[in-house]
Structure 1
Amino acid sequence: MEETPNSTRRWPARLRRPALALAALAGALPLAAGTAPPAQAEPGDAGRIRKLNAQIEKLDKAYGGDLAKLKDTRYSVKVALDKTKVLSKDLQTARGLVAQLAANQYMTGGADPSVNVLSSDDPSNALSNLSLVSHVAQNQSAQVQQIQKLVNEQEKSKREAEQKIKELEKEIRDLVKEKARIKALVKKYKPESPSVGMGGVTPRMLKAKNSIDIEFGPFPTIGCFRGGVDAQDHATGQACDFMVSTGGSMPSANGRAQGDQTAAYAIANASRLGIKYVIWRQRIYDMRSPGWRSMENRGGTTANHFDHVHISVF
């Protein structure tokens, strides 16, 4: 009786392993692809993000400009959503590979690779061919495991993005609740025009800069007016960076103490100097929403404000 690849003959265990690995590969695809989506709406909903951005811009204008903490949380939302998109693309690619392998196996009638090896015209190559099939099967089995890992990572990333968006929504609600107090605070400080001949800073910022420099200077340098995409209050002359180290290096113990004293002084004298917020060591203290709050990791000593104290005024 002629035997076919789908007959009931049982091959030795060492020859069946590659076939079983490929069968597991095809069988795992529906499980990975059929993972149930979360019950909640996707956190990356474009309309939802646009609405939050519009609220931030509106509050920015009404509450004295540059709500840095809100914008930092918005940045963290973008990072989380970008991560979710990358994982989704990786997952789609990996699933496509497995689907192709499963389709190939179906089109060959589910043939056991070991049968193909044994039916080779050159039996002397059977051992090397079998080793190759086993290697491929093991790699593809690992691909299935990688898909499940990607599924888990994507679900985790979605949850993290959703949490970040909820944090942003809460911060907006909290600011809206404090509308009367914050508007009274903003009203206390009449807007000032950028100056010429004072480095581009406003008189209020110049007063705060000089007061801090007298108390805790000299600093390695103080940077105030500048332009650029991320300049924010620097571009309007309402911010200065009080450097406590140079070259992007972490400050010494003395430098950190100088930064601590500068930040504490700015907060304690915020009402007198018209200070709006202080950023120091990846934290922000905003007078419109008092209290130190952590900020998103921007990936560097300077970007995370470990080597300088940023001070903005109304």
Structure 2
Amino acid sequence: MAATYLRRAQPALALLAALLVLLVAAPAAHAAPDPEGGSKTLREQLESAAKGHVEAKQKLDASKKRQVKLKVALKQAQEKAVSLEGRVREVASRSYRQGRFSTVSLLLNAGTPDTFMERALRLEQMAQVDSRALTEYQDAVTVAEKATRAIDLEIKEQQKQVTVMARKKKQAESALAAAGGGAVAGGFVSANSPLAKPAPRNSDGSWPRESCTVNDPTTSGCITPRLLNAYQQARAAGFKRYTSCFSERSSGEHPKGRACDFAAATGGFENVNASGGDRTYGNNLAAYFVKNASRLGVMYVIWYRQIWQPGLGWRAYSGSGGPSATHTNHVHLSIL
């Protein structure tokens, strides 16, 4: 009886064994990577530093543009004032020589009514010309004075933003140092990286606020429009290996739809340090995001134990653990 039961059960047991083999042997190519290294505090500090730097840089650039326009206005006003100075001196000199009574006498001494009217008309025309010249001169001087004051204010604004940028850089350096990293690193750059299509900005050059509102093409979650643009631009540039963006985590940008992990290996997130062509792929992808940081709104890039963010450059990043934590099997991208 037992032998008969075993014979009947053999096909089912064989199928179960085959399934177990497949589950054990199948690569975790498209599984979510292990939790990435770094603490919640570190990520919050890096986010604050990056956002603060980018905002201050945008204000600095805007101030410099305003200053250039003000300098042009100042130069034009000064040139106009100089061109009118001769006319103003002439008016002042004539007024000093003739005075009110000399003008009246000039009219009263007219021999005929026609001569009187002719002199009166000329005096009226001269008065109008003199008044217009004096008004234009005063306007030019006023414009020059306002432009000078405005330029002084812009210089103060620029000094303020430079101070903010320096403070944010120090914040990022201190956060990385506290986590065991922060040393200046060689980084990943390439002059041959293609240019990405810029993400939309506000009219003043700042980044619009975005939330997780569009479907994530890599998962069933959502991402921001700016991250979607970065993902699409990377694929258009040839970086088409497996990518995972949205994921439920306790902190970081992934649950906010503002981060993607780009696998270095063709098979996905392999539990080994990338080497050879896979590492070259990661190097090129990291360099691509850095070159296009201002176009895509990059907050930071992490790859192979290094991190890049605006105003800081490439620094050592000491995530502890396996390849996912040390970012040696995938490139991490966080978007503002």
Instruction: Give the TM-score taking structure 1 as reference length.
Output: 0.42
